[in-house]
């Protein structure tokens, strides 16, 4: 008799679809109550939906591809959305020691009104610093176009000359209005990233005979290679034209300034854990090297940190400052700087 109910029980357990009649057959065959109860429980249980083999839904596109500005140094620097009210523009550094091969004790100019009589011998060693920032005035919704106000100040301070009360020998003030275009399309190699068109004024804020000033309009392109030996190579060529030049030669502080400073410059920047840059004009060259203080301090203690760079600078040629636009000298300096971001 036991074999008789085992047969329908086996059939019930292996059936693809359990019905009420199957449970009745177990009851009629005097199957154990446990078997009958199990049958009715399985019958009352909700049927599981069959697993359908559906095609995988196509992957959704990312809301936005990784903005190249997050990996491109130039695009990040000129991102109107990510730079807030103020952001770094050109180099920001302080060189407590800047030594000149031949200080300019008697600045001159073709304009007789701007020939400075010899006063006293300047110290060969002074302090030099530069701070530079920009602020966004306007941008479009796509963050491709923006208008910026830029300001750079460079000062030469005879800090090591207490006998003459440590005077500021020269300061140059340079406000700019810059229209900037970013190129965010992905590309390989040395690709264009920015294009800037600007109106630029530079002066030393002095009265005659020490007054020096000029106005320019310039166009600057920015190229960057994001995969150059593990670092970043940036190339910034710029051309300019002098504008609003005084027609009266007696009012022109530096009529031959383009002869010494030319009609453009080119800057090369290489970043790979350190920063190496070169700025070349027709008659001058400036080299800068910056190394993170953080890495230097870690040699002594992993708990020591710094946000500054150790900075070395070398300049040779004409026009380190406006008062020296037609004066040749070589200087080297050592100090600290803020890193490029």
What does 15-71 look like in DSSP terms, one character per residue? -SS--HHHHHHHHHTT--HHHHHHHHHHHHSPPPPPPP-PPPPPPPPPSSPPPGGGT
Same domain assignment for residues 12 and 84? no
Same domain assignment for residues 162 and 40? no
Same domain assignment for residues 146 and 267? yes
Q: Read off the CATH number of the domain in which 326 is found.
A: 2.40.230.10
Q: Over the chain, what is the mean pLDDT? A: 86
- Structural domain boundaries, residue 27: 2-44
Let me know if residue 61 belongs to a domain.
no
Closest CA to 313 of 161, 73, 89, 92: 92
Say if residue 324's pLDDT is above 90.
Answer: yes
Let me know if residue 181 belongs to a domain.
yes
Q: Structure tokens of 204? A: 């030393």
Let me know if residue 58 belongs to a domain.
no
The rounded distance, in Å, linking the Cα atoms of 120 and 218 is 37
Let me know if residue 60 belongs to a domain.
no
Closest CA to 28 of 58, 1, 57: 1
Same domain assignment for residues 11 and 100? no
Same domain assignment for residues 298 and 236? yes
Q: Structure tokens of 24? A: 């009745």
Closest CA to 296 of 305, 284, 286: 305
Residue 6 has a pLDDT of: 43
This model's pTM is above 0.85: no
Let me know if residue 307 belongs to a domain.
yes
Same domain assignment for residues 32 and 95? no
pLDDT-derived band at 69, boundaries 50, 70, 90: very low
Same domain assignment for residues 20 and 96? no
pLDDT-derived band at 53, boundaries 50, 70, 90: very low
Let me know if residue 276 belongs to a domain.
yes
Alpha helices (H) in 60-167, listed in sequence order = 73-77
Same domain assignment for residues 199 and 105? yes
Let me know if residue 176 belongs to a domain.
yes
- Cis bond before residue 209 (omega within 30° of 0): yes
CA distances from 61 to 57, 65, 71, 185, 219 (A): 12, 9, 20, 17, 37
The rounded distance, in Å, linking the Cα atoms of 38 and 47 is 15
Residue 49 has a pLDDT of: 52
Let me know if residue 64 belongs to a domain.
no
Same domain assignment for residues 116 and 214? yes
| Residue numbers annotated as active site | 201, 203
Same domain assignment for residues 38 and 78? no
Report phi then psi at 310, rounded to 5. Answer: -75, 130
Q: How many domains does the chain have?
A: 2
pLDDT, tens only, 229-253:
789 999 999 999 999 988 777 789 9
pLDDT, tens only, 97-153:
999 999 999 999 999 999 998 878 999 999 999 999 999 999 998 889 999 999 999
Same domain assignment for residues 31 and 143? no
Same domain assignment for residues 145 and 204? yes
Q: Strand 264-271 to strand 93-100: parallel, antiparallel, or no bridges (unpaired)?
A: unpaired
Q: Is 265:238 a contact under the CB 8 Å cutoff?
A: yes
């Amino acid at each position: 008799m036991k074999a008789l109910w085992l047969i329908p029980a086996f059939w019930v357990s292996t059936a693809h679809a359990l019905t009420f009649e199957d449970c009745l057959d177990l009851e009629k065959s005097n199957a154990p109550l446990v078997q009958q109860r199990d049958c009715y429980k399985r019958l009352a249980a909700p049927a599981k939906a069959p697993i359908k083999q559906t095609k995988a839904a196509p992957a959704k596109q990312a809301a936005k591809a990784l903005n190249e500005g997050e990996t491109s140094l130039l695009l990040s620097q000129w991102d109107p959305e990510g730079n807030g009210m103020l952001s770094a523009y050109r180099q920001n550094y302080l060189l407590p020691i800047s030594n000149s091969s031949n200080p300019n004790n008697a600045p001159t100019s073709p304009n007789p009104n701007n020939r400075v009589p010899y006063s006293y011998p300047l110290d060969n060693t002074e302090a030099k610093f530069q701070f530079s920032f920009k602020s966004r005035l306007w941008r479009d919704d796509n963050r491709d176009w923006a208008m910026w106000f830029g300001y750079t100040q460079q000062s030469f301070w005879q800090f090591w000359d207490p006998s003459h009360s440590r005077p500021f020998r020269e300061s140059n003030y340079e406000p700019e209005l810059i229209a900037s275009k970013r190129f965010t399309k992905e590309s390989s190699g040395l690709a264009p990233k920015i294009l800037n068109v600007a109106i630029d004024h530079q002066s030393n804020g002095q009265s005659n005979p020490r007054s020096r000033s000029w106005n320019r309009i310039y166009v600057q392109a920015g190229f960057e290679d994001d995969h150059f030996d593990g670092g970043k190579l940036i190339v910034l060529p710029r051309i300019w034209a002098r504008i609003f030049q005084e027609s009266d030669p007696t009012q022109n502080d530096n009529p031959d300034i383009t002869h010494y400073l030319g009609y453009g410059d080119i800057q090369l920047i290489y970043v790979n854990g350190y920063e190496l840059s070169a700025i070349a004009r027709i008659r001058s060259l400036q080299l800068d090297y910056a190394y993170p203080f953080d890495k230097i301090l870690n040699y002594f203690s992993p708990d020591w940190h710094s946000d500054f760079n150790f900075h070395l600078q070398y300049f040779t040629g004409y026009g380190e400052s406006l008062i020296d636009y037609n004066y040749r000298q070589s200087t080297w300096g050592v100090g600290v700087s803020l890193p490029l971001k």
